[in-house]
């Protein structure tokens, strides 16, 4: 059974350690807890998705995110290949 406090419910997620570090840095700068910052980010994100859905552009946004992730992964692979090549020299 999920933990609840009033209208709040605990949720467990798994995210990349580097992203956690970035979130912690931003939370500290904003004088917020990690939990509060993540909650704020999710709330804003959900509101944005609802607007995109109403405008009929959510599908386009999902495609854009897929492309962004593909480019990010391609960059990581190229960087790793270059680092490997540099180590061989």
CA distance 27 to 34: 6
Q: Which residues of the chain have pLDDT under 70?
A: 1
Confidence at residue 65, expressed as pLDDT on a 0 to 100 scale: 82
Averaged pLDDT of the chain: 90
Encoded tokens for 88: 């061989």
Confidence at residue 1, expressed as pLDDT on a 0 to 100 scale: 65
Count other C-beta atoms under 10 Å from residue 41's C-beta: 12
Number of H helices, E strands in the chain: 3, 2
**Could you tell me the pTM of the whole model?**
0.63
Q: Assign residue 31 a region: left if phi > 0, alpha if psi is -120 to 50, beta otherwise?
A: left
């Amino acid at each position: 059974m999920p933990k609840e406090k009033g209208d709040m419910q605990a949720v467990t997620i798994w995210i990349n350690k580097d992203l956690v570090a970035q979130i912690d840095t931003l939370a500290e700068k904003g004088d917020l807890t990690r939990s509060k910052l993540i909650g704020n980010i999710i709330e804003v994100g959900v509101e944005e998705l609802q607007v995109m859905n109403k405008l009929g552009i959510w599908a386009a946004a999902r495609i854009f995110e897929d492309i962004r992730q593909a480019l990010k992964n391609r960059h990581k692979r190229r960087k790793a290949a270059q680092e490997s090549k540099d180590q061989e020299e």
